[in-house]
């Protein structure tokens, strides 16, 4: 078919392609494939209403070749000229014909596609000098860059088909300047200029090259003295000329504080026997020398710390990256407004406009060779991707190597392949030798190899893949002392923390109208529908704001942990703005358009992420009134110069903003390029009214640099005994029901482990998103409450999670209230993952049997002597229940209340104990029978896993009839799931006969049930893992129980 299309542009943005359907062949992995089969998505699979939840959705989809044609008329003035076709950004492979004659092909994803049409376009030839130009663009993935690479995948920019940016024909003389590369020599105040002169005359000649540098983008622009050198060339098609060009004593260096640039113009004036040739080429460069000293980057002799974010080619309006400078300047200015100085281009390389913008604004870039060779791809195995990566890196360095903002380079992201370490070592060494203007590492994420000039690794961050509720922010009480000096100390080159953060926020459905271009937020429409279906549509804004406040807390701790690490090279956030793919990863404080979300401003973010940040090392955030609040105050400073004679002031403020205590350290020299220790503060809290939230504020006088931390003080002793008219119970047993039937009051405190629903609640926000991680914990986005509710009158809180909630969340279970009346709203409501949108509760009230019931699934019963926050909440709830304000209005059936809690397992009722042959720390055997499917037993993997078989032995404490066994595999991922198994029984735990059952389980999260041929009466049961689903030497179990006859 023949159509007209506007260029620059893509097929998809102009309505070409096929309708999206269940059969659409997307480019990119889909981890959670429930959309294709699950009943809850059935309405979104219907023709005419197709909506996918795993990324932004185009109206049209097309993968394949497309032919673009245009008739060209070549002017007579171009007679005898060299004619070039330049296509700035193509996706992906182009092949060019002129009037049916093939010219060539190019498959770069990163740089302009250029074709020499000199001998194909002859002025005046054919009919009136007209020629038919045909360009085939093929966006099929022919090279294994990885289906999830952001250079090609539908996760972010889309696998578009077209040509964008500058599309032009150029005419030059037959002797021309083909390339100019500038290699700054800062120490000697000069630049080595390497010029490649092209020659199509097939003959020799001579002439001159004139080199002139002119400064710009600085208050004191410098004009450097011109230098002329003789030029002589033979009949070869290329000649290389190298010269040292002095930049003068007033040369200005480029960095983030003074992004001084130079335009280097090379003028060619040459002659051959036939004719005179002239050409002029101007490139932009900066005088900068980036090196390393130990574990720190050094730029211009000053240590540099990178504060970065990722850019994953997210452009919802067009589906391809911007090619104009102003768009990129806006993005970079937004980053700088949030205190950042760096951007990593994840598995792609941006158009040159991004580098121009970064040059002029003083912003440091890491560029990658458009690959994420994993999930079906690999490097180092001799596949075409290996040679392509070398070629692509060379193209990138030639096209963009002069830009001073281009400071770091990697092959791409997280590689796979049995030979990837050796191959990447050669790759890094090759380009270190070829172009020393920047620093090189193997890849983002891994591997750490000797050739790296810096390492990108995920170790210096709070939460790693698979951490679940064991990550520091979930497993340990809140503090601000942890840093990563131990990780840094193991290396001798800089470390950049890989993809830190990944903390989610609830979707902002007000964004939906902004998607008015190629990509639509139909994933958001699904999430909005399910929220409305579950009777919470009116809470979406509250969910956004409350989860956003928690997300900000998580990012603050994430970033401060990096800043308080001496010698850390930097960090790369994932992400300052949302990542719309991979299941919808709402990890940004900005939306995909780089617009702020309503819960945190750039100014607030910059308090803890900036060139200079005051820091306080607090060993705890929760105190009782007989303790002292202590902190060590530091300042991380990476400004242009030392801060001399600085005064650092601290204030401890109460809830009303009044000063509780203050102090000042005067005459400080805050050295740039390091973490500076200022002093220690200590404040007795006995005189502070409690309970109360306090705020520690630390600032540098006369500067905008100020930071703050919330702490809480609670009374050491408080009345936690229930009033006489309140009955406290762990279950709706006959006594509790009797109280309710008589119109009385019951505080129901079910044990958190008994709470049904399988919701893994954690203090932190969701990591990345539950769809892509396979349901890794936590499943929640913090809590929402009304601080003015009388049940919380004696419990200081905001409407969202803050650090004092850690103690409560860590001893809680989230109740699923979907079966309750739709008008019931919890007093304390965890915010569920948007993929489920369940109505969750930690505290709610109801009328049951005519009585007044308050249910709290936080453990307010045990270890209260060590839980000041739990003590205070219990006191507040009991005060409320004792008051006239306690009048629940929503009626709830007893059956609905009973359904919130699981009965104990048979093993728990027996008091059985469990042992194993192997257990990783924090994954002990008893976790396989603790009634909590979110905790698991796992065999040792560090430092070295042991071989199969692995076993769990259950001591039932007495001989009882056993008819079988149930096995629940771990729910978050496949690692350690048992494949081959055998079950043994014993009367004494020493003598074991032949197995009573054996077989092989499928690799899924479904509960497995074994029934013996006949029941046996035994005391001991042994489950033996013979193999693992992926062939690894691991074994794991979420929950195991026995089956009674």
Q: What is the pLDDT of residue 974?
A: 87
Contact 85, 169 (CB under 8 A): yes
Asked if residue 630 has pLDDT above 90, the reply is: yes
Average pLDDT for 193-206: 94
- Summarize pLDDT for 885-920 with one digit per residue, the tens: 999 999 999 999 999 998 888 998 899 999 999 999
Of the given ranges (149-158, 929-938, 1014-1023), which has the lowest mean pLDDT? Answer: 929-938
Q: What is the pLDDT of residue 240?
A: 96
Q: 518, 516, 513, 514: which is closest to 14 by C-alpha?
A: 518
Residue-wise DSSP of 983-1000: EEEESSSS---S-SEEEE
- Summarize pLDDT for 418-453 with one digit per residue, the tens: 999 999 999 999 999 999 999 999 999 999 999 999
Average pLDDT for 297-321: 98
Q: In three state form, how does the secondary structure of 33-46 look?
A: CHHHCCHHHHHHCC
Backbone angles phi, psi at 152, to 5 degrees: -135, -20
Asked if residue 288 has pLDDT above 70, the reply is: yes
Contact 382, 420 (CB under 8 A): no
Domains, the chain, with CATH or none: 1-17+62-185+187-287 (2.60.120.260), 302-606 (3.20.20.80), 726-898 (no CATH), 906-1043 (2.60.120.260)
What are the structure tokens assigned to 885, written together? 């304000």
Q: What is the pLDDT of residue 1005?
A: 85
Q: How far is CA 814 from CA 119, 781, 789, 901, 904, in A?
A: 73, 12, 20, 11, 17
Surface-to-core class of residue 864, CB atoms within 10 Å of its CB (0-12 exposed, 13-18 middle, 19+ buried): middle
Asked if residue 307 has pLDDT above 90, the reply is: yes
Asked if residue 129 has pLDDT above 80, the reply is: no
Average pLDDT for 531-548: 98
> Within 13 Å and on the Cβ side, how many CA atoms surround 411?
35
Quote the pTM value: 0.92
Contact 358, 343 (CB under 8 A): yes
Average pLDDT score over the chain: 96
- Summarize pLDDT for 41-93 with one digit per residue, the tens: 999 999 999 999 999 999 999 999 999 999 998 988 999 999 999 999 999 99
Q: 761, 758, 785: which is closest to 539 by C-alpha?
A: 785
The CA-CA-CA angle for residues 792, 604, 611, to 5°, reads 140
Asked if residue 127 has pLDDT above 90, the reply is: no
CA distance 144 to 155: 17
Q: What is the pLDDT of residue 123?
A: 64
CA distance 114 to 848: 77
- Summarize pLDDT for 211-259 with one digit per residue, the tens: 999 999 999 989 999 999 999 998 889 999 999 999 999 999 999 999 9
Q: What is the pLDDT of residue 916?
A: 97
Q: 887, 923, 927, 930: which is closest to 908 by C-alpha?
A: 930
What are the structure tokens assigned to 684, written together? 């007795």
Residue-wise DSSP of 326-375: HHHHHHHHHHHHTT--EEEETTS---HHHHHHHHHHT-EEEEE-S----S
Contact 942, 966 (CB under 8 A): no
The verdict on whether omega for the bond into residue 575 sits within 30 degrees of 0, i.e. cis, is yes
Q: What is the pLDDT of residue 904?
A: 84
Asked if residue 125 has pLDDT above 60, the reply is: no
Asked if residue 128 has pLDDT above 70, the reply is: no
Q: How far is CA 936 from CA 112, 410, 426, 925, in A?
A: 52, 37, 41, 8
Average pLDDT for 990-1012: 93
Asked if residue 126 has pLDDT above 70, the reply is: no
Which positions ≥6 away from 690 have C-beta within 8 Å? 624, 625, 713, 714, 715
The percent helix, strand, coil of the chain (3-state, each to 5) is: 20, 35, 45
Q: How far is CA 1010 from CA 975, 981, 983, in A?
A: 22, 11, 9
Q: What is the pLDDT of residue 711?
A: 99
Q: How confident is the model at residue 272 (pLDDT cuts 50, 70, 90)?
A: confident
Asked if residue 286 has pLDDT above 60, the reply is: yes
Q: What is the pLDDT of residue 668?
A: 95
């Amino acid at each position: 078919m023949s159509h007209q299309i506007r260029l620059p542009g893509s097929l998809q943005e102009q309505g070409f392609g096929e309708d999206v359907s269940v059969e659409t062949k997307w480019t990119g992995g889909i981890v959670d494939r429930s959309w294709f089969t699950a009943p809850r998505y059935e309405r979104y699979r219907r023709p005419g209403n197709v909506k996918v939840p795993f990324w932004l959705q185009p109206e049209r989809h097309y993968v394949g070749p497309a032919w673009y044609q245009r008739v060209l008329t070549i002017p007579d003035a171009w007679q005898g000229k060299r004619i070039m076709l330049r296509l700035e950004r193509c996706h992906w492979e182009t092949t060019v014909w002129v009037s049916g004659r093939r010219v060539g092909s190019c498959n770069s994803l990163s740089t302009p596609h250029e074709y020499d049409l000199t001998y194909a376009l002859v002025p005046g030839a054919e009919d009136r000098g007209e020629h038919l130009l045909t360009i085939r663009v093929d966006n099929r993935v022919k090279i294994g860059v990885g289906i999830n690479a952001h250079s090609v995948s539908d996760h972010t920019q889309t696998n578009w088909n077209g040509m964008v940016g500058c599309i032009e024909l150029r005419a030059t003389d037959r002797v021309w300047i083909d390339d100019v590369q500038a290699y700054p020599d800062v120490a000697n105040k000069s630049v080595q200029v390497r010029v490649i002169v092209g020659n199509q005359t097939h003959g020799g000649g001579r002439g001159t090259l004139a080199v002139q540098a002119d400064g710009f983008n600085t208050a004191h622009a410098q004009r450097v003295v011109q230098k002329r050198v003789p030029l002589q060339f033979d009949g070869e098609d290329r000649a290389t000329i190298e010269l040292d060009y002095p930049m003068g004593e007033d040369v200005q260096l480029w960095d983030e504080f003074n992004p001084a640039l130079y335009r280097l113009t090379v003028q060619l004036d040459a002659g051959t026997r036939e004719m005179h040739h002239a050409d002029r080429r101007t490139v932009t460069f900066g005088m900068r020398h980036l090196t390393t000293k130990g574990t720190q980057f050094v730029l211009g002799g000053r240590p540099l710390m990178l504060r970065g974010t990722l850019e994953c080619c997210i452009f919802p309006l067009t589906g391809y990256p911007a090619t104009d400078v102003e768009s990129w300047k806006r993005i970079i200015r937004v980053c700088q407004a949030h205190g950042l100085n760096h951007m990593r281009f994840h598995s792609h390389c941006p158009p040159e406009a991004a580098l121009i913008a970064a040059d002029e604004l003083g912003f440091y870039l890491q560029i990658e060779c458009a690959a994420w060779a994993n999930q079906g791809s690999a490097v180092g195995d001799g596949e075409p991707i290996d040679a392509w990566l070398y070629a692509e890196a060379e193209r990138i360095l030639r096209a963009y190597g002069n830009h001073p903002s281009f400071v770091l380079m990697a092959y791409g992201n997280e590689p796979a392949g049995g030979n990837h370490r050796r191959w990447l070592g050669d790759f890094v060494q090759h380009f270190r030798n070829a172009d020393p203007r920047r620093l090189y590492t193997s890849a983002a994420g891994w591997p750490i190899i000797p050739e790296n000039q810096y390492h990108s690794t995920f170790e210096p961050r709070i939460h790693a893949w698979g951490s679940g509720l064991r990550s520091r922010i979930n497993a340990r009480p809140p503090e601000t002392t942890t840093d990563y000096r131990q990780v840094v100390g193991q290396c001798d080159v800089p470390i950049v923390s890989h993809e830190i953060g990944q903390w989610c926020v609830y979707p902002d459905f007000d964004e939906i109208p902004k998607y008015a271009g190629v990509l639509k937020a139909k994933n958001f429409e699904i999430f909005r529908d399910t929220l409305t279906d579950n009777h919470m549509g009116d809470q979406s804004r509250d969910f956004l704001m409350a989860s956003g406040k928690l997300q900000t807390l998580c990012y603050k701790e994430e970033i401060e942990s990096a800043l308080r690490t001496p010698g850390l090279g930097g960090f790369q956030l994932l992400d300052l703005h949302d990542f719309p793919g991979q299941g919808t990863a709402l990890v940004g404080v900005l939306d995909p358009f780089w617009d702020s979300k309503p819960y945190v401003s750039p100014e607030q973010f910059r308090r803890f992420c900036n060139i200079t940040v005051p820091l306080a090392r607090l060993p705890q955030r929760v105190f009782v009134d007989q303790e002292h609040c202590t902190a060590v105050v530091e300042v991380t400073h990476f400004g242009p110069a030392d801060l001399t004679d600085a005064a650092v002031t601290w204030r401890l403020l109460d809830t009303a903003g009044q000063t509780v205590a203050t102090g000042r350290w005067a005459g400080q020299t805050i050295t740039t390029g390091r973490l500076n220790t200022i002093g220690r503060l200590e404040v007795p809290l006995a005189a502070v009214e409690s309970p109360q939230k306090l705020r520690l504020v630390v600032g540098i006088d006369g500067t905008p640099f100020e930071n703050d931390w919330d702490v809480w003080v609670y009374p050491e002793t408080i009345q936690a005994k229930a009033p006489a008219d309140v009955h406290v119970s762990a279950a709706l047993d006959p006594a509790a029901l009797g109280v309710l039937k008589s119109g009385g009051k019951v505080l129901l405190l079910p044990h958190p482990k008994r709470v049904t629903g399988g919701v893994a609640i954690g203090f932190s926000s969701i990591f990345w998103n539950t769809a892509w991680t396979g349901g890794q914990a936590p499943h929640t986005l913090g809590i929402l409450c009304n601080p003015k509710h009388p049940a919380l009158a004696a419990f200081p809180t905001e409407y969202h999670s803050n650090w004092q909630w850690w103690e409560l969340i860590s001893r809680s279970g989230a109740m699923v209230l979907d079966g309750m009346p739709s008008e019931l709203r919890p007093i304390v409501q965890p915010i569920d993952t948007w993929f489920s949108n369940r109505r969750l509760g930690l505290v709610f009230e109801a009328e049951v049997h005519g009585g007044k019931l308050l249910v709290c699934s936080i453990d307010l019963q045990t270890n209260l002597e060590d839980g000041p926050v739990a003590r205070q909440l219990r006191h507040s709830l009991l005060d409320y229940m004792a008051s006239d304000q306690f009048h629940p209005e929503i009626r709830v059936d007893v059956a609905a209340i009973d359904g919130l809690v699981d009965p104990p397992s048979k093993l728990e009722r027996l008091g059985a104990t469990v042992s194993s042959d192997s257990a990783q720390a924090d994954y002990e055997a008893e976790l396989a029978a603790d009634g909590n499917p979110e905790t698991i037993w796992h065999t040792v993997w560090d430092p070295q896993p042991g071989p199969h078989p692995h076993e769990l032995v259950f001591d039932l404490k007495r001989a009882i009839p056993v008819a079988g066994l149930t096995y629940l595999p771990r729910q978050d991922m496949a690692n350690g799931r048992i494949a081959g198994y055998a079950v043994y029984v014993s009367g004494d735990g020493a003598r074991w006969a032949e197995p009573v059952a054996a077989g092989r389980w499928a690799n899924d999260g479904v509960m497995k049930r074994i029934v013996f041929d006949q029941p046996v009466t035994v005391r001991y049961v042994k489950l033996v893992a013979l193999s693992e689903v992926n062939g690894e030497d691991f074994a794991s179990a979420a929950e195991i129980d026995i089956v009674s006859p």
